[in-house]
Structure 1
Amino acid sequence: MLRMKKSIPLFVVILLVWALAAYILIPMITRSFYRHHFNGGPRITHTSDGHPGDPVNIAIEGEEAELVRAMNKAGWYPADPITFDSSVRIAVDSVIKKPDDQAPVSSLFLFDRKQDLAFELPIGDSPRQRHHVRFWRWDKLKDGRPVWFGSATLDERVGLSHANAQVTHHIGPDVDAERDLVMTGLKQAGFIQDEYYVTNFQSEHEGRNGGGDLWRTDGRLGAIILKK
């Protein structure tokens, strides 16, 4: 009996090995690999450990306050920053199917920094499914106003990443539908001065993100000029 109490249960050992591999060893290896093989530029985001992320599919011209106001009026909620408390909250809410309109989104990187703004549009009563979009401010101005490059995707479910076994949201493949959802919402809310598409923005029309999820696109970038 004493010997059993002192021994470490097998499932605890397995859990520790998984955590070490998923959150330390695999990220170290992939960070080194993708530093030399990743073609990011302004068209594909990347994860903190260097994996290709979600594709950029929308660009919005306007001041930050104008963008925030427009997204809020269109029904999108600002996502909370990732903290220990918010991470625990989204995990619990996902299990018990409790609504969380401002659940945090993971960090993706463009222009060598994580997103400046993030918004989500809830689906049902659980943060396991939601529409969300991340925005990064460009370091250039267009017509004297800031430009925000965005990546809009649909979170379909929560599971383990195919790339590193970390817990993550898996996205749906139709990123064009998410791009158009953002554009339609802003138009219906009355905040668009002009809109158009930039054809052949994405040279690759299919790929996989950092979690191993497939995405497909027609290659167009949705462009919006917000009303002043």
Structure 2
Amino acid sequence: MGGGSRKVNLAALSALWLASLTDARRLSPHTLRAYSATIERFEDFLHRHLGGLPTAAALTALTPADFRAFLAMRRSDGLANASVAREVSALKTFFAWGRQTQGLVCDGIAGLKSPRLAKRLPRPVSPADASGLIAAVGDDARLPWTAARDTAVLLLLYGAGLRIAEALDLTGAVLPLAATISVTGKRNKTRAVPLLPVVAEATMAYAALSPWPPARDAPLFRGVRGG
């Protein structure tokens, strides 16, 4: 971008940048609006931070501390880490585009780090959701025995706490079901799992409907072709 003393209209550049993103990356309208708002806020910040519209030379001279001052202002607005990370992403993407297409050099942006985001723990399925899923699976199945199979497997997962691999590894040796079953999990560790009556009844109902009689050394739950 020629002329170090020339004023830079970030809003106009932002419009060009967003148009290029729309064509090349197919970003959602929500993301585009968020990116546009970030650049608008950053330009307003620079207007106050530098005492007027920035020049190309002023943008080139920006340091990581300047960008961190902007983010500190945003944090004072109550911004969460995830939103701050999006602001950082927008700024880095904008200045990378500016360097490549407009000759707008700003090395200070390279020192800007995104905040660390806390890893979310997986949320357990609620009893209502589990019941709805089990009912839907039974309704969608084409054959009575596959409906019974899918219902039994889901009840073993959500009603007995088995992992999917543990449920599918069960053999006919577990029949007839008692109050507990023995399952082998990770690292070949065996544990006793108590069974609710509804879980045991669903599993026995499947075994009665299955076209493949349960065998001690064969999988309890079979596919349509017997596998």
Same fold judged by TM-score > 0.5?
Answer: no
Higher strand content, 1 or 2: 1
TM-score of the two chains, using structure 2 as the length reference? 0.25
Structure ID, larger Rg:
2
Q: Which has the higher contact order (CA 8 A, sep 6+)?
A: 1
